[in-house]
Amino acid sequence: MLTQLLRSSISSALPILVAALGASFTQTVGKLNIAIEGTMLTSCFVSVYVAARSNSWLLGVTIAMILSCLMSLFVWFLHRYLRADIFVVGLGVNVAASGLVVLLSSILLGSKGTIFFEEIPKIPVLRFEALQRNETLRTLLSDYSVLELVAMFVVFLSWLITKTPLGLRMRAVGKNESVARQLGLNVDGIRISSFVFCGLLCGLAGSMLSLPLGLFVAGMTNNRGWLALVAAVLGGENPLGVLGVSLTLGFSVALSHRLQLFTALPAEIVLSIPLILTLCVVLIYNVLKIGEKGGSP
């Protein structure tokens, strides 16, 4: 029971974590992209639709990642070249995406509700034969889908990037733009690259939600994008911090699923549990942080 809960925490945490790392890149360069929710939702739809059409999940993920990369560059473009407020543009993308996916699904598939894609290609699963005998190890370590493994690899990669010159330059740009410029850094290029990373990661995160299930609903992301933002803001520039917060979030999402199945709590209350838990974690974190400094924030 507990191991299953842990396992499903990991599975729920991964999409949030991936998206959060994307957001964290943009935050590092000082331009937090809050269009995550909309970008994820769009790639949810695109990946599952393309996968069902082309009968290749890989193509679905790729197209979704490219598209969400374009979306995130769109945000950057509006902000940089038309001087739009990045935060309002992000909200706009979120609102537009929620309309767009329903519109697309009603035009392309003739339905607005839950859409099941029956002939969706199965994503391969990695199974360790050696672990099959031990129940606990099997639930925890085996049977991850390729997508999830890719996500884990991406997490590792993001951590690696923060250690490269590019990662350090991103931090420099975020810390002080004009100094970075005077040092001869290509500020625009660095920011664009962080938005590209953000888009790619959001695309992956979106596909992770819809592809394994082979279905699409308009409310599919269900605030995960916002949870990812919370993780990014709290985790800051440190991918390990983002990892910690995302795991907490994943755990609370998994817990709320369990509660929905096994208790008589009303669905509405259960749905709000991840948010409430996150808020509490955030509060405790902030209180501790203030305590460490021993003064007012």
Partner 1 sequence: MTHRKVLSPIFTVVVAFLICAVILGATSRQPRETLRWFFLGPFSNLYYFGNMLAASVPLIFTGLAACIAFSAGVFNLGLEGQYYFGAIVGTIIALSVPTSRLSSTLFVLVVSFSVGGLLSLASALLKLEFGFSELISSFMIGQIFIYVGDFMLNGPFRDPEAALAATRYLDEGIGLAKILPPSNLHVGYVIGLTLCLVFHFVRKHSVMGYEFKTVKENPRFAKIHGIKVEKIWLLAMLLSGGVAAVGGMVEILGVYGRAVRGFSHGNGFNGIAVSLLVRNDPALIFLSALFFAYLESGGEIASLMVQTPPEIVRLVQGIVFCLVTAEFLFRRSERDADSVA
Q: Could you list the residues that contact partner 1 (CB under 8 A)?
A: 38, 78, 82-85, 87-89, 91-100, 102-103, 106-107, 112, 223, 226, 229-230, 233, 266, 268-269, 271-272, 275-276, 278-279, 282-283, 286-287, 290, 297
Q: Reduced to 3 states, what is the DSSP secondary structure of residue 222?
A: coil
Smallest distance from the beta carbon of 287 to partner 1, in angstroms? 6
Residue closer to partner 1 by CB (options 105, 194) is: 105
Contact 290, 297 (CB under 8 A): yes
* DSSP element (H, E) containing 215: strand 215-216
Choose between 34 and 147: whose C-beta lies nearer to partner 1: 34
Taking the least distance from each CB to partner 1, the nearer of 95 and 183 is 95
Q: What is the DSSP string of 103-155?
A: HHHHHHSS-SS-EE-TTPPPPPEE--GGGTT-HHHHHHHS-EEHHHHHHHHHH
Q: Would you tell me how many other CB atoms lie within 10 Å of the CB of residue 2?
A: 8
CB of 22 to partner 1, least distance (A): 17
Q: How far is the CB of 106 from partner 1 (least distance, A)?
A: 5
Give CA–CA dist 174/250, Å, rounded. 28
Give the nearest distance from C-beta 269 to partner 1 in angstroms.
6
Nearest approach, Cβ of 196 to partner 1 (angstroms)?
19
Residues 29 and 192: beta-carbon distance below 8 Å:
no
| CB closer to partner 1, 136 vs 176 | 176
